[in-house]
């Protein structure tokens, strides 16, 4: 019987420099610490980036709205990359070190603000 030849599809990607927004890790168990203190970060629900921080943003960065309607108007859409940008712009990005991360647990979307509730975690390296 002849072996089936498998061809790997070449990965397509863009190399980026920045801080990743909400992400998923590979599906496996991880060992990590969960800090006791819960965090609540309140940011504006919509506005212009430049109004948050004129040193970081310009008019070209545009506007944000955390609860947008889809093009057909039938669905609500939360655009995750805006979360980090607004936290940076309002000076509320969590103070994290090396192997720490902020794990959002809930988003409370109100008329004028978004409350992000979560915990600080720290990955533990296993030997």
Query: Is there a domain that residue 15 lies in?
Result: no
pLDDT value of position 4: 61
69 - beta bridge partners?
Answer: 76
Residue 4 lies in a domain: no
Cα gap 54→121, rounded to integer Å? 31
Considering the domain boundaries, does residue 115 fall inside one? yes
Give the predicted TM-score (pTM) of the model. Answer: 0.78
Please write the tens of the pLDDT for every residue from 28-77. Answer: 999 999 999 889 999 999 999 999 999 999 999 999 998 888 889 888 88
Q: What is the pLDDT of residue 112?
A: 94
Quick check: helix, strand or coil at residue 74? Answer: coil
| Residue 103 domain-assigned (yes or no) | yes
Q: Whole domain around residue 95: which residue ranges?
A: 32-123
In a domain? residue 117: yes
Lowest mean pLDDT among 52-56, 113-117, 122-126: 122-126
Consecutive H or E run containing 33 = strand 32-44
Tell me what pLDDT residue 53 has: 94
What is the structure's pLDDT at 5? 63
Smallest CA-to-CA distance from 65 within 73, 53, 77 is with: 77
Number of domains in the chain: 1
* 12 within some domain: no
């Amino acid at each position: 019987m002849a072996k089936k030849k498998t061809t790997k599809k070449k990965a397509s990607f863009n190399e980026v420099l920045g801080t990743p927004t909400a992400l998923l890790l590979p599906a496996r168990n991880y060992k990590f610490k969960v800090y006791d203190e819960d965090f609540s970060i309140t940011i504006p629900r919509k506005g212009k980036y430049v109004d948050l921080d004129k040193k970081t943003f310009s008019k070209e960065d545009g506007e944000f709205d955390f609860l947008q309607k889809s093009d057909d108007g039938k669905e609500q859409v939360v655009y995750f990359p805006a979360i980090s940008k607004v936290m940076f712009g309002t000076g509320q990005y969590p103070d994290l070190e090396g192997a720490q991360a902020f794990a959002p647990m809930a988003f409370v979307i109100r008329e004028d603000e978004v409350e992000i509730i979560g915990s600080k975690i720290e990955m533990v390296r296993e030997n």
